[in-house]
Chain A
Amino acid sequence: MTSKLVTRALEQEGLSSILEARERGQVASDAETLEALGRADVLVLGAAADIARRRECSDEARIYVPSPPAQTTSLVVIDAREALRGTALLRKIATLRLQGPLGARIVVDWGAMGLEIGQIALSFGATDLAGPMASRRGLPMLDAEDQKKLVKRREIAAYVARAGFRAVFVQTDDPGQSLFVAPLASRAHVES
């Protein structure tokens, strides 16, 4: 349920109509909408993107294993090619969510952007994560710097849970096939 605080903020920033349009299955792309997105406070933009993301993609966050998927019209990958950082990056992701196709996937490569930013991006409209993960079959041949970026499965699941989502590990070449679904129990400390 959206609180009064968020409802008022969305109205003030002119973002309510964008959400209403998406709920009707339409993507608003008129000049007024674009102007509202460009001017909106980044947190309110994030709140709007989060509402759209949860409605259209549920609270599931896919973790692509072993590598990020290829980009398509309904799947955007935010990786090392992305020049924006920090608040500017969050604004871009939220805008992509609110301007992009209904139910689009937005994948953040934590190897390039950092795990913390990847986690935060999940609440700004991103749906999924990908990045270098430690393997039970031994660590890949990487230099010391890249070794530091390796993340364990339970670690990434905890990051996702702490952001209020449920990690579902999928194979990059067959995302319909779940490899592992993080137990709901890992969300307990967020909600208890």
Chain B
Amino acid sequence: MSNLDSIAHKLVTGERLSFDDGVALFRHPDWIEVGELAHRERVRRHQDRAYFNRNMRIEVTNVCVASCLFCSFAKLKEGDPGAHTMRLEEAWRELEVRMDDPPSEIHIVNGLHPDLPFSYYEDLLRGFKRIKPDIVLKCFTAVEIHFFAELYRKTYEEVLVQLRAAGLDSLPGGGAEIFHPEVRTRIAHDKATAEQYLEVHDVAHRLGMKTNTTMLYGHIETFEHRVDHMIRIREQQDKSGGFQAFIPLAFHPDGNGMKNLPGPTGTDDLRTIAVSRLMLDNVDHIKAYWVSSTPKIAQIALRFGADDVDGTIVHETIYHAAGSTSPQGLTRDMLIRLIREAGFTPVERDTYYGVVEELARAALPEGALKVRERKANKHLEVIS
């Protein structure tokens, strides 16, 4: 039996994939076959649904004391060229100007600013809730929570309880990078370790919070490091169970300390999504983050194990600082079209994967229509 046939057998019988299986999936020469396996898993869990949400990204400060090699966003201190910290009114204004078609979620990721008081973050959250009480605030990575704990001399639990009292609902998954110390000590030596990152999520899950988790791939890591990363997430999920989605993030090399590296290719993006789906048997959702991989690859990734393409975003700056050529935001209609063209049913979700609206799928795959019909936008017509 070939490696892949034995892995397929394990999937059918519900046997958990091993470290060696994960590496074999990364090394298997036929990456489409790996995708086919992942697609079956994805369909078994989510049928033909593909999720998106109406969210908005805000980065309130890019001042950061950490010196991660892969980052093109951070500035060491206030006053450095390009350094920026929003006044609270400036941050709140980002939501106020969108209240005619408001997002359901605000996603905030920042640099590790050494001088802002803790009350800045509490006030930031309270202000957003004042403007829109039902907005879900998915803010501050585990790396930021760890930094707050050190800077303000609090425990993780104290930080999270106080931020929750101010309006924090969920944590984004950023900051995971690659957990293995052979890589982490080289690319992100002066911020939360893998153990600290996972402990923050552990505490958040115990407090009843749902969170996401990520992996930054395509730089100096090996396939073994990627699989090790996934297994650590799987083990944490066995313990605390609060991860909703895993998001593989493609490394972009422009303007950072690893600018001589080429970054991952399209087949690597799709294979990584597929292996994630197969290895992370206890994480419900695999997200193809369109900002990191481009909307076209994210669309194809829906056929390689992903079931979510993230959201409208509105204005992303971290990946764009690293040379991403993706648009800074997509409209709801664009996301719906992207999903329909791939042959899936678009489902607008809230932060917790509750269904906001399930839309009808397209009648036929886009490629099966004649050009004249496509031009007349007939592919956007729905059945039912």
Measured CB to CB, the residues of A under 8 A from B are 1, 3-6, 9, 38-39, 41-44, 46-47, 50, 83-92, 95, 114-117, 119-120, 123-124, 148, 155, 158-159, 162-164, 190-192
Contact = CB atoms under 8 A, between A and B. Distances in A.
A163 B267 contact: yes
Contacts of A116: 265-266, 269, 294, 296-297
Interface of B: 2, 4-5, 8, 27, 29-33, 35-37, 39, 262, 265-270, 294-297, 299-300, 302-304, 325, 338, 341-343, 364-368, 371, 374-375
A39 B366 CA distance: 11
Contact of B303 (A42, A89, A117): A42
A120 B300 contact: yes
Given A116-B269, A117-B296, A120-B266, A88 B31 contact: no
- Interface SS of B by simple majority: helix
Given A4-B5, A42-B365, A192-B27, A86 B35 contact: no
A164 B30 contact: yes
Contacts of B262: 155, 158
B327 to A, nearest CB: 13
A116 B300 CA distance: 11
B267 A123 contact: yes
Contact of A191 (B8, B29, B300, B341): B29
A162 B296 contact: no
Contact of A123 (B32, B342, B366): B32
Given A6-B30, A115-B266, 8 more contacts: A42-B343, A83-B374, A86-B299, A86-B300, A87-B343, A88-B367, A158-B262, A163-B265
Contact of B365 (A43, A47, A91, A155): A91
Contacts of B29: 164, 190-191
Given A42-B303, A46-B32, A159-B265, A88 B365 contact: yes
A164 B31 CA distance: 9
Given A5-B8, A119-B266, A85 B296 contact: yes
Nearest to A163: B267
Nearest to A159: B265
A88 B341 contact: yes
B37 A5 contact: yes
B36 to A, nearest CB: 5
Report, nearest first, the 8 A-B pairs whose CB atoms are least far apart.
Answer: A116-B266, A91-B367, A88-B366, A86-B299, A88-B367, A87-B342, A120-B266, A86-B296
Question: Taking each of B39, B267, B299, which has the highest tally of chain A beta carbons within 10 Å of its own beta carbon?
Answer: B267
A81 to B, nearest CB: 11
Contacts of A117: 266, 296-297
23 contacts: A1-B2, A4-B8, A6-B30, A6-B33, A41-B39, A43-B35, A44-B36, A84-B374, A85-B296, A85-B341, A86-B342, A87-B343, A89-B367, A115-B266, A116-B265, A116-B296, A117-B296, A120-B300, A148-B325, A158-B262, A158-B265, A191-B29, A192-B27
B300 A5 contact: no
B266 A87 contact: no
Contacts of A192: 27
B27 A191 contact: yes
Given A162-B265, A162-B268, A3 B368 contact: no
Contacts of A158: 262, 265
A10 B302 CA distance: 20
A159 B265 CA distance: 6
A3 B33 contact: yes
Given A5-B4, A120-B267, A120-B300, A47 B374 contact: no
A87 B31 contact: no
Given A116-B269, A163-B267, A43 B303 contact: yes
